[in-house]
Amino acid sequence: MKPIDTTLALNANEFSRLAQVDIAYRVAQMQRLAKRDNSVSHDSESNWQLDPLPYIIATEHWQDIERAVIQRAQMMQHVLIDNLSGRFFLQQGLIASSDVLGDPLYLQECQQATMQQDTPSMIAFDIAMYVDGSMQVTKQHLQAPKGLGVLLQNRIVTRRVMGDLFSEINVTRVLHFIEKLQSVISSVHPTLDDPRIVMLAQPKDDKYYSEQAYLAMYLGYTLVRCDDLTVRQGKVWIKTLEGLQAVDVIIRWLEDGQLDPLEQTQSQMSGVAGLLDVIRHDNVYIINPVHISIVNIPAVTKQLVQLTEAIIQAPSLFMDDSLTPTSEQLSAAFWHNGQWQTQPVWIRCFALMNGLDVSVMPSAMIWAKDTQNDAMLVKDAWIKASDVDIFSSMPLRQPSQVQDAALIEGVISSRTAENLFWLGTYIERCETSIRLLRTYIDKYSQLPMYPDLQNQTAILALQQAIEQQACIYPFTPMQHIELSYQPLLAHKQTVIKHIKTKEIAGSLYAALNGIDFAAFQVQELLVSDSIRTIEMLRHDLQHLKDVEPNMPNHMIHVHLDDVMSHILMLSGGLHDTMSHTNGAFMLDFGRRLARSEQLVSLLDSLLHVALDDSEQSHLLDILLISQVSSVTHKRRYRMYQSVQTALELLLLDTQYPRSLAFQIDKMIKLVQVLPQQSNSGFLSEFDQQLLAMRSTCHAQDKYQLAGIEDGQRKHLHDFCLTIKAQCTALRETIQTQYFTHTQLAHSVERQSYTSVRYNHEI
């Protein structure tokens, strides 16, 4: 009996034992677990679909596969060594030089940066297996093999759902391999015992980001993107809240040609400028080593079988790629729409290559193409252990435990901090927008019942402030123009416009989009409940498109209520579950700052121009309702409600949680958590700015603020302008000192240039 026949028999046996009901139950369980763990189904873009039934591989069959993978990896290593030490394979004509040198994967600029030949590599092969036992490598994944994170996620899910079967089959554990991987990565740096290791993800919109985030959490490394890293003084640094911190090892998910926009003109949108030169000087170590992709050049790949026989002097265990297989490709049954479908499968094996020492991960991903849905159907491969595995009682480690380990290091990348800051800002913008719009809807809906002129004037003043975006972001300076009668439909159109127009920076749509984007960037820090709430907000975002002028006002209100309840859920969830150690203070700081800006802008836009008492009273009512302060104001001031009392409550009361003074005090406390960047004994620029803001606030007299000169509250206006400017300065400082680490707040715009072309004739 051939080893592959044992595998086939094992799977047929397990398959026959399963009842349909059992399968359906498992599918439901897996979907639930996958969602809870932000697992495969969360990342719809990468479109891996986990099948409920694992694929079991017999011990002796796996040993065949393992031997072949080791042989292929060792041959690849010979090619890499040859590339660095004379390229005799090319000189001897074993590989056609013109095909190599002319291939797009051959990168001349990387030849100088590939001297770290001892650097380990994590590679993967897609293998087609045939029923006669032969195997062919159909694809080599050498630069940043995808699927390892998915495999680990799948293993956790399938093991939970099928724990009994898992023990009964005595599946080989992967823990050993993972530990070896971590140990090899840690020992890459020749001198440091505890190097700083980061995992460099692709630029934003990368469809594999979820997998990378999972893997980073699982292995305990900080996940960074290109913009998180900078090259200064010949070294690579990560931008963190603590300032720039040296990076020693980079596990890269970028392709060879995308590493450095300074030397690689084709990688304009990705990479870290200057990275290749740092690698060249051995000031950072890259896993997988640069230019490993040369082994993927077709001229090299097609010679690997012949080279194996020539160099290793043993028959290749993989069939030549160019040969047509003589027997049928191995198939497996996948559960699809309530029934089984048999599909030809490939096995993706992962291996750690450390010089000529190769370790193969004792698990694999069995996959098939789902051409109808443009997806990859995947199964967890269970390798039957040859004897009792000493690790069988050890559970597979949960990523959340390692996540904390990564944070003990104290590294909160500036990008993470910045995204948390913006998440807080957008949550606040969203909340205040909804409160304003709901108040506005309520008021104009009641106009037919209370058509008095004073009420109309107050509503028109609010409409003017919203239309000019003076009370919503970007808080444009208000141009007070004469108010004129507006039909009800015009009010509704104002609301709809500010709910769903993408182009309006302060619209609800823009704020929700901002939440979605910022939350995605920090998803590794969020608990599953928060992620589910964000999913709900994503649905809300879609539903906002349905808001049309023919929709009744109360229905628009319902939509806004839904969004508001999800925002409050998210806000409360984040508050309860995020610890300060992973940057929750940044989220809170973003909120407080946004609330301060919002509050002064609203007061300025609605109270700057004085109205008569009755009109003023209506407008004050609108203002207090939109600030959820109406009840407090009534209770506290009863008979004596006025502009002074409103200003006292909303600006100056340090005990009132919605007041400006309260926000400032909170921000002062939050700043204490930020790493200080000034010499002890002196206040930082940040402290100075907040102190100035506090002084500005507390130096005010409510009567003076409410005082009217020439029909305007000039003191209030000046005060609001000052606070707004101070808020802007705070934003600028936090950007430069903690996020960009440059002297410019907005330095994200990157450009490349080369000097003038040649132009000479004598």
Query: What is the nearest approach in angstroms of another protein to the Cβ of residue 291?
Result: 11
Query: What is the nearest approach in angstroms of another protein to the Cβ of residue 84?
Result: 12
Closest CA to 631 of 613, 649, 607, 604: 649
Closer to another protein by CB, 267 or 645: give it. Answer: 267
Q: What is the DSSP letter of 345?
A: -
Greatest extent of the chain over all pairs of C-alpha atoms, in Å: 101
Phi, psi (degrees; rounded to nearest 5) at 285: -110, 135
Query: What is the nearest approach in angstroms of another protein to the Cβ of residue 677?
Result: 16
Q: Tokens 């989009």 identify what position?
A: 513
* Dihedral (CA of 714, 715, 718, 719) sign: negative
Closer to another protein by CB, 403 or 736: give it. Answer: 736
Tokens of 707: 């005082």
Residue 438 and residue 133: Cα distance in Å, rounded? Answer: 69
**239 CB-contact burial (10 Å; exposed 0-12 / middle 13-18 / buried 19+):** buried
Query: What is the nearest approach in angstroms of another protein to the Cβ of residue 268?
Result: 10
Query: What is the nearest approach in angstroms of another protein to the Cβ of residue 97?
Result: 5
Closer to another protein by CB, 596 or 740: give it. Answer: 740
Closer to another protein by CB, 169 or 745: give it. Answer: 745
Neighbours of 612 (CB within 10 A): 9
Query: What is the nearest approach in angstroms of another protein to the Cβ of residue 751?
Result: 6
Residue ranges of alpha helices (H) inside 245-294 are: 275-280
Closer to another protein by CB, 269 or 555: give it. Answer: 269
Closer to another protein by CB, 262 or 692: give it. Answer: 262
What residue type is assigned to position 575 of the chain? H
Closer to another protein by CB, 371 or 751: give it. Answer: 751
Query: What is the nearest approach in angstroms of another protein to the Cβ of residue 586?
Result: 22
Query: What is the nearest approach in angstroms of another protein to the Cβ of residue 238?
Result: 16
Closer to another protein by CB, 294 or 465: give it. Answer: 294
Phi/psi region, residue 610 (left: phi>0; alpha: psi -120 to 50; beta: rest), is beta
Query: What is the nearest approach in angstroms of another protein to the Cβ of residue 289?
Result: 16
Per DSSP, the residues of 25-36 read HHHHHHHHHHHH
Q: Tokens 């040369």 identify what position?
A: 294
What three-state secondary structure class fits 334?
strand
Over its C-alpha atoms, the chain yields an Rg (Å, rounded) of 31
Tokens of 115: 């001297």
Closer to another protein by CB, 128 or 278: give it. Answer: 278
Q: What angle, rounded to 10 degrees, do the helices at 414-445 and 553-577 form? A: 150
Closest CA to 157 of 47, 42, 70, 69: 42
Residues at the contact surface with another protein, assessed by CB under 8 A: 86-87, 90-93, 97-98, 101-102, 108-109, 111-112, 230-234, 261-263, 265, 273-274, 277, 280-281, 740, 742-744, 746-762
8 A C-beta contact, residue 343 and residue 359? no
Residue ranges of alpha helices (H) inside 325-478 are: 399-408, 414-445, 453-467
Helix (H) or strand (E) holding 195: none
Closer to another protein by CB, 88 or 703: give it. Answer: 88
Residue 631 and residue 634: Cα distance in Å, rounded? Answer: 5
Query: What is the nearest approach in angstroms of another protein to the Cβ of residue 233?
Result: 5
Query: What is the nearest approach in angstroms of another protein to the Cβ of residue 269?
Result: 12
Closer to another protein by CB, 484 or 759: give it. Answer: 759
Phi, psi (degrees; rounded to nearest 5) at 397: -65, 145
Query: What is the nearest approach in angstroms of another protein to the Cβ of residue 423?
Result: 24
Q: Tokens 């599909």 identify what position?
A: 343
Closer to another protein by CB, 93 or 681: give it. Answer: 93
What residue type is assigned to position 268 of the chain? Q
- Cα distances (Å, whole numbers) of residue 41 to 47, 51, 341, 409, 660: 7, 11, 20, 31, 43
Residue 217 and residue 213: Cα distance in Å, rounded? Answer: 6
Closer to another protein by CB, 234 or 711: give it. Answer: 234
Query: What is the nearest approach in angstroms of another protein to the Cβ of residue 276?
Result: 10
Closer to another protein by CB, 147 or 274: give it. Answer: 274
Residue 7 and residue 25: Cα distance in Å, rounded? Answer: 25
Closest CA to 158 of 146, 145, 171, 148: 171
Residue 35 and residue 497: Cα distance in Å, rounded? Answer: 35
Specify which residues 237 forms β-bridges with.
Answer: 230, 246
Query: What is the nearest approach in angstroms of another protein to the Cβ of residue 759?
Result: 5
